Amino acid sequence: MKRISLFRSGIAALAAIMVSGTLAAQAPNLTDPEIASVAVTSNQIAVDMAKLAKTKSKNEEVIKFADLMIRDHQSTIDKAVALVKKLNVTPKVNDLSNKLNSDASAETKLLESKSGDDFNKAYINEEVAYHQEVLNTIQKVLIPQTKNAELKALLQNAVPVVETHLEHAKMLQKTL
């Protein structure tokens, strides 16, 4: 059985709620500013982890994957920031975005302690699980709760990107 890392526990909790069928009763009720904060936070975490991978890995495919994560997730952050400026909305930090940040900090420490193939495997395993859980959360929590049409469209447009990242990470996972 795979361990659930600290890094993913905030989103893993949402995924567990979704699986249990009690999403409506237990999922956090987020406002659009809170959803914007979760979106930016989760993308920034992916960028930061990818930057760590670029400094720790010597594997060409892992480095290419990290470059892709930086490019795509930074692009999403840039779009989200532009949208909230356009809408004159300030992303609101909330329990989920705080949990994501604290868990990411702990996961960073864990990954920093690894090297070589151990690092590559741990990083890619986390990327597979993280992207799957982010995908589920976007589709089952964030999009349904988003009121603003433009923010909802940004999240909907992120779905195929996250799906592509997930498939790419799974492919890498098989080769490591």
Give the per-residue pLDDT at 169. 98
Q: Which residue segments constitute the domains of the chain, with CATH numbers given? A: 8-14+30-175 (1.20.1260.10)
At residue 102, φ and ψ (nearest 5 deg) are: -70, -40
- Cα–Cα dist 163/157, whole Å: 11
Question: Is residue 77 within 8 Å of residue 43, measured between CB atoms?
Answer: yes
Give the per-residue pLDDT at 27. 67
Question: Which pLDDT tens digit goes with each residue over 29-78?
Answer: 999 999 999 999 999 999 999 999 999 999 999 999 999 999 999 999 99
The amino acid sitting at 130 is: Y
- Cα–Cα dist 95/55, whole Å: 30
Structure-token pair, residue 55: 């400094």
Question: Is residue 70 within 8 Å of residue 47, measured between CB atoms?
Answer: yes
pTM of the model: 0.85
- The residues, any chain, with a CB within 8 Å of residue 108's CB and separated by 6 or more, are 7, 48, 49, 52
What number is the average pLDDT over the span 97-110? 89
Question: Is residue 68 within 8 Å of residue 161, measured between CB atoms?
Answer: no
Number of H helices, E strands in the chain: 8, 0
- The residues, any chain, with a CB within 8 Å of residue 159's CB and separated by 6 or more, are 135, 138, 139
The owner of tokens 């799974």 is 170
pLDDT at 25 > cutoff 70: no
